Every structure is written in C-alpha cells, then in structure tokens.
Structure 1
Amino acid sequence: MTNPYRGRPDHCFWRQGVAERVAEGVDPVTAMPFSIAPGDAVATAGSCFAQHLSRHLAAQGFHALVTERFTGAAGTRDEGYGTFPARFGNIYTALQLRQLLERAYGLFRPQARAWALPGGGFADPFRPRIQQGGFPGIEALEEDRRRHLGAVRRMFEGCEVFVFTLGLTEGWVAAADGAAVPLHPGVLGVETPPGEWRFVNAGFAETLGHMEAFLEGFRSVNPRARVMLTVSPVPLVATGEDRHVLVSTVASKSVLRAVADELCRRDPGIAYFPSYEVVTGPQAGGRLFGEDLREVTPEGVAQVMALFRRHCLAGAPAGAAPPPMPARGEPPPPAAVSEEERARYRALTRVICDEEAIVMPVGVRGSGI
C-alpha cells in the first residue's frame, strides 16, 4: 500500500514544519480564504486581540471601521471610543456577541437597566467599564445606550469584514432572562440579591449554537460580509469553577478553538487566523508571555501582527519579518524588537481588559491579546 503521507508538504509534518523551524520562526499560516484590501471596512470585536488588530489596521493605512464617536452628549465622557467600532467594550463570550446583535435589532430586551455604583453614578451592565465612574443618571445611560445600539447596527450593516476574537466560555447571566454581562456586578462593588446572577460555562455545543445563531442574524442584515475568527491566547485571570485555573483555561480555550475549527470546516469562506497557536504553541516555549505568564509581550504582539500583515492584508507594506525565536533555553536576542517598536507595541498592549477588575482595583488596566 502507498503511504498516504508520502509527498505531503513540509508544513504537514511536525519535524519539518515546527521543530526544524523554531530558530527562523514558525509560520503556521498555510492559506487564507480571503485577504483584506485597503478599502475594506473592517469591524473588530471580542477579546483583546481585536483591539490590537484595529490599531494595527489603522497604522497600516487600512480602514478600521468606527461607527460611534464622542459627541459631547450630556452625561458622556470621551472614554472608550474608537477602541472598537462602537463603544461596546470587550465581548468575551459567544452568547454576549449573539445578544449584542439581538439587542441592537430589538430582538432581545434585557430586564437589567443599570447598576448603581457604590461611589455614585450608574454603569451599563452590558458595557460596565466603558466610562470610569459610570453615567450621572439612568436617563443619560439609556440615551447613550440608544445611540450606541444605533452605532452597532451601522457596524453590522456597513462592515465588509468582521473579525471576532473568541475569549472565554465562562460568564455570568441574569437568572431572570439569561442576559449575559462581561462582569459580575459584585466585581464592581454593586450589591445584588443572592441568585440574581448565575454563573455559566458554555460547552462546545452551546458555544457553537450561539455562534451559529449570531452568524445567521449577521448575514441576514449583511449577506456580503466576510468573517474572520481568532482565539485569544490570554489565560483566564480567575475561574468560577471549583477547580484549578490552569485546568479551566485549557478547557475553555479548547472549546473555543474547536468551535472556530468547526465553523471554518462548515463554511470555507470563514477564515481562521492562528494568533492563539503563535503565542501558546510549544515552539514559543512560553517566551511570548510576560513574567505573570498571562500578559503577551511586545515581541509576542510583533510576531502575531507581522504574520497577520503578511497573510491577511493585501497590498500592505512588507514591514519587518517576525522576530526570530531563539533556540530552546536561550534568552530572547535584545535586538529582536527595536526600542521604537517596543514602545509602540507597549502602547498597543495597553488594552481594555474587563477581566482584570476581578483581581485589581477598578480603573487599573492590564494587557492581553
């Protein structure tokens, strides 16, 4: 019998595709179903990678779509605008994404209106950290929400490429109607009756179902848009399960990666970009994480963005090649990223991360991808 693996390209084999390429840099992208042109309106959403991507697109002269800008409306501050196309903050779970679209089109009207913050002011339960100190009153909050959901509709209907980074499977939902929020109100010091908010950890079938429902709704309002998925490599800052956070992290990321793979297998027009594999794969040896083993280093961001530019952006400047990965056991070479690049990527990694509020005071922002 003929060996079915004979004649396969080098990237199909671990030794040739990974082990022998560590020093020069492993490029796990073999093909993308589409590329992004400079004129394409690109909307980004999800976990922290989407924030890096939006800034990178703008820096390369591409069209990072923004549909909500600061207007000076009563009760609002110039905070949280431009991070994503609309001021929705991080969207960690597939359920949050699905409900964002449903709320924007009036298909789901959550009972939760506002959270009264202990220091005064009111937070929007569905984007609690877009504005430090919250809104001065519920009326101002709800008026801003009305404008915001209009901007969300313009984003969904006007984008030509939608990039979503799957971040978590764990989350909190209202016991009354299943409304998903990015943070438990208690993280912000908001007192709520026992049992009002319920912890959920979506498995493969549930996460896939939420993504299928979102894609069906999204394509009903924008049938021509292309979709790109990524998975955040940033570990959970804490787990709501009664088990080790490392076990919860691997379980959560495995579900998200499997869902992304299933969606791409079903629809060859959906692209997957392997930022997760670049940062967490054994070829990286953990060297693209900071001392906390959670924050992605400037070198890690540079690796991901250089590959994204090479494979996903049509007509983009070639730019520098991804910094080479040092041999196992050797420290990263000091010249891998210039000081100018390091400063720029340090600024890029100052991303909004709602999760950080679980373990650090509100107002302190961490970083991720």
Structure 2
Amino acid sequence: MKVLGSTEALATYKANPYSGWPNRDELDDRLAHFTLPAVKPKFKLEAHDRVFTIGSCFARNIENALVETGRTIAGRDLWLNSGLVDRNNPSSILNNFAVSSIENELDWAFGEARFNVEEHCYQYANGKWQDLHIPQAIKASRLDLLEQRRDLIHKTYRLLESSSFIIITLGLVEAWFDKKAQKYLNLTPPKEAIRQHPKRFELHVQSVDFIRQTLFRIVSKLKAICPEGHKILITVSPIPLTASFTDRDVIVANAYSKAALRVAAEELYQEHTHIDYFPSFESITHTDRSVAYLNDQVHVNTDLIGANVRHMMSLYSEAVNLETFEQLRQALHALPPQERLVQLGKFLVKNPDHTGAILTCVEVATTNRKLMRLAEKYIAKLPAKLNLREAISLSNSYLRLNTPERVIELLSSITFGKNKSAIYAIGRAFNQTGQFSKAVDVLERSPHSGAGPRALIAMELAKALRHLGRNKEAREQMEIAKELRPADKKVKAAEQELFGFFAKTSRFYEKAVMRPKAKS
C-alpha cells in the first residue's frame, strides 16, 4: 500500500496539474477526441534497446505499430520467414491472454518445465494435433508441424536473454485449467476434447491475488533471464472479453477482468523502479466508443492503436520539439484525425489565440464524420475578423458542415476580387441555397488560369446554368471541367448528374448537343 503523509499529499495535489478532471470546453481537455492521460515515464527507450513484446493480441498491435516507426522487434523475423504461420500477422502465434500462459512459456523456454505433446496438446479423431497453448486461430495440424511451431516458440522466447525493453500486455482473467497437465491453457478447449474428457478441463476466474503472485514470479524470472538494467513496460489491453463463460453480462465480467489486471499492474509499478505502466487501456476506454472501437465493439480502431504507440514513443524516446505552427502542421499529415486534434490542442494551450491552429482544428473536425460535432466548439474560439485566406478556410469548413448560408454571410463581408478559391466557395454556396443567378454572376468573374480551381468553378457554373435552363452553356462548362481534371471524382459525378438532366429534358438535345455527329 502506498502511504503519503498529510503534508506530502497536499503538496503533491497542488503540484499535479492533472489531479482533477478537465472541463469539456478547455483547450487542454485530455479526454476530448482521443483520450491521452498524462504520463511521467520512469525511463527511456534507448536506441540500443532491443524490444520484446509479450501478452495478448494488443501486444501484437503495439508490435506492428512499433515496426512502422522503424523499431526492430525481437523474434518477428523468425516467424515472418518460417512458413509456419500467416505472413500477414506472423507473430500472432505468440499471443498469451492470461498471465498464467505467459509464465508457462517462460518455464518451457528456459527449462524450468518440459513441454510434453501428450500432456499439453490434443489429438483429434482425424489424427491432427492441436497445441492447447497457442491461439485458436492456429488450426490443428500434423504432429511434425506442431513440433516445429513449438520449437520456434521456445527459440523466440529465448531471445529475452538479449532483450532490454520488455512490453507486457495483460489480457484477461477467465482461463481454462487442464487438470491432466496441471497447466492453464491459452485457449478454450476444443469441443471434441470437452465431450471426450468432460472432467479434464475447468474454467477459473482468476483472482487479483493469483494474478499479482503470478506477475511477481514472471518479473523475478525476467530478472534472471534478461540483461542487467532491462526495463519492463506494462499495459492492460483495451480489447474486452469477446464473450464470458460465466453467468454475468460480458460488460460486468469484463469490468472485473480489467480491474483485476489493472490492480496487479499497479502493484508492480509501485514496487519496482524498472517497471512502468503505460495507460493504453485508459486511453482507449475513455475515448468515445464509436471512435475507439470497430463495429464488433471488441477490436480497437487501428488509427487509435497507432496514435497510442506514437504517444508512447514520444514519451519514452526523445520527442521532436514542435515549437512553431508550421512544424506542427507538417507533422500532422502522418497522424489520424483524432490525434491531430490532440496535438493541435496541446499547441493551443501555449498559443490560445493562434487562428491558424484553430482553423486547422475546424478543418480536421469537419473532414471526419465522427468528429464533426466538435467543429462548433472551435469555430466559437475564432476571432470576429478574419483575413481572406482564413475566411476561405472557414468557408470550406462551413460547406462540409452543410451550412452554405454562413459562407455567403462570411464572404459577402470581405472583398475577395478574383480569388478563385473564394469564388468557388461562394458560388457553390449560392448553388446549394438555390440562388442560381447569383451563382452564375460570381462564378463568371473567375480568371481562366489555374487548372484545379478553374475546373471546380466550371463544374459549379455548369450546375447553375443547368438549373437556369441554359443547357448548351452548361455543357460547355462541363467539358471545360472534364478537360482540366479528367480523373476528378467530383467532376465525373457532376457530369453524370448533367447527363441525367439532359436525358430527361430532351432526347433531341441529347443527340444534337451532347453527342454531336462527327464532321464529314
């Protein structure tokens, strides 16, 4: 138990800027969009550190994201080139969902126990063998293939002897126990095995004390195995129980599962200086579920996994200092929308009146359907007066919000001359509000230079002319748009819309104007 004296507790409370929950309207709302709890790392991931990941399928997610950042993961190449597993997810065979399964693999790899095929595997009636200590996705196979996989698993774990940065992800507490082998399994026993041997297997819902004791043994074993000075980063997987074998609602069963793992992880963190805890569980589960999880409500959005790992890397390795908005803007391109807003929010804490950053927040929010509801929060922070460039940016966001009347109001108060971006925005807004004559008046003012903007303007002009019954002119503008941007999806969609209009209004016109005969 951690104990703080009264003076120390009060001083810690005052010194901790994250001791309370943020208000929703705060720019530094770390719960907004994509939750990022504050972390004070105990150590760093050095360039020379060799990374080894252990644990549930979320450990593989972390592993894959680390590989994308350029990190080498111990053992990954062994499976990639083995021919024994799917190359798209080669190390998924190493998934260990319960802490007892992690301990099993360490014991077998380093000789504290012997892996026995007769005890630890099951032979089906068709002669194929199932290793009961690898994920169910790895199907039963010939005995020789099972033994090759098992040997390679042991070889992979022995790489811990040269690994100095260990990431352990804790998965669940509902584990099946094999009474014959006196071992916890890493999967649900095959139905055939349960039918044939109903008294061999039983489900254990592991207690906090059991998990804590097992984890402390694992840490002790890693101390004997890994290089001196090794570091351990523990996480709890945000991936919930897919289903519960108890009589509880899976929501309730999962809450206990994660709480038990989180408590045990906290005790390790408190008692060991070389063990740190990274809150990936808190990050994902405090993010809007419609953003954080896929439709199955189990698996995590890969963008958020990547954002979590990048956040972890920025904390545990040397972070790039993005002091200027231009540096930040360049860095944002590689990030998913939720993380862009997080990074922009951090910048705005130090620069609350930076119009460019606020407009970028509006842009990010309005280009992602799930984040669109956040746009108005940022729009409210904009200054009353914007320059032309800023007004155009906001106008494009207004169009994405489907509020064209706001575009008209904004740009009508600014002199934009022959600026093609402004002409396109207000012309499109006039079209969307049914003011086609005004759309034609403003769009026809556009200069004829610049293929990209000119094509979009021609497309909008074609739409306005079409509604005014000026079909031949509409077709001419559509041809200009096609010629300037032949592969543009917007232009193709508009052309299809125009073809449909002309086909309905006049078959004669379609033959005479839209598809004229070749000259002899």
TM-score (norm 2): 0.56
Q: Judge conservation of contact 1:236–1:245 (CA < 8 Å) in 2.
A: yes
Counterpart in the other structure of 1:162: 166
Q: Judge conservation of contact 2:59–2:167 (CA < 8 Å) in 1.
A: yes
* Greater alpha carbon shift after TM alignment, 19-28 vs 266-275: 19-28
Q: How does 1:189-200 map to 2 (within 5 A)?
A: 191-200=195-204
SS in 2 for 1:53: helix
Counterpart in the other structure of 1:45: 54
Q: CA deviation at 1:190?
A: 7.2
Say whether 1:8 aligns with 2:40.
no
* AA partner of residue 102 (structure 1): D
Q: CA deviation at 1:28?
A: 1.1
Q: CA deviation at 1:26?
A: 4.3
Instruction: Name the structure, 1 or 2, with higher relative contact order (CA <8 Å, separation 6+).
Output: 1
From 119, 124, 135, the equivalent of 2:131 is: 124
Q: How does 1:151-190 map to 2 (within 5 A)?
A: 151-153=156-158, 155-186=159-190
Counterpart in the other structure of 1:333: 365
CA separation in 2, counterparts of 1:173 and 1:66?
Answer: 28
* AA partner of residue 365 (structure 2): P
- Between Structure 1 and Structure 2, the one with more helix by share is 2
SS in 1 for 2:312: helix
Q: Which has the larger radius of gyration?
A: 2
Q: How does 1:240-251 map to 2 (within 5 A)?
A: 240-251=245-256
Counterpart in the other structure of 1:219: 223
From 334, 338, 341, the equivalent of 1:324 is: 341
Q: Judge conservation of contact 1:299–1:323 (CA < 8 Å) in 2.
A: no
Q: Judge conservation of contact 2:129–2:146 (CA < 8 Å) in 1.
A: yes
From 108, 121, 133, the equivalent of 1:114 is: 121
Say whether 1:98 aligns with 2:103.
yes
Q: CA deviation at 1:71?
A: 9.3
From 154, 160, 179, the equivalent of 1:149 is: 154
1:178-211 deviation line (CA, Å, top 9, x unaligned): 2122212225877541111111111111001111
Q: Judge conservation of contact 1:118–1:189 (CA < 8 Å) in 2.
A: no
Q: CA deviation at 1:297?
A: 1.8
SS in 2 for 1:152: helix
Q: Judge conservation of contact 2:231–2:275 (CA < 8 Å) in 1.
A: yes
Counterpart in the other structure of 1:61: 70
* AA partner of residue 313 (structure 1): S
Q: CA deviation at 1:156?
A: 1.6
Q: Judge conservation of contact 1:117–1:190 (CA < 8 Å) in 2.
A: no
CA shift in 2, pair 1:263/1:185, >3 Å: same
Q: Judge conservation of contact 2:65–2:305 (CA < 8 Å) in 1.
A: no
CA shift in 2, pair 1:315/1:37, >3 Å: farther
Give the % identical residues.
Answer: 20
CA shift in 2, pair 1:128/1:285, >3 Å: closer
Counterpart in the other structure of 1:279: 284
Counterpart in the other structure of 1:292: 296
Unaligned 5+ segments in structure 2 are 1-5, 323-330, 343-363, 370-520
* AA partner of residue 9 (structure 1): N
Q: Judge conservation of contact 2:268–2:275 (CA < 8 Å) in 1.
A: yes
* AA partner of residue 324 (structure 1): L
CA separation in 2, counterparts of 1:290 and 1:93?
Answer: 23
CA shift in 2, pair 1:119/1:226, >3 Å: same
Counterpart in the other structure of 2:238: 233
Say whether 1:31 aligns with 2:52.
no
What is the RMSD computed on CA atoms of the aligned residues? 3.5
Q: Judge conservation of contact 1:91–1:97 (CA < 8 Å) in 2.
A: yes
Counterpart in the other structure of 2:260: 255
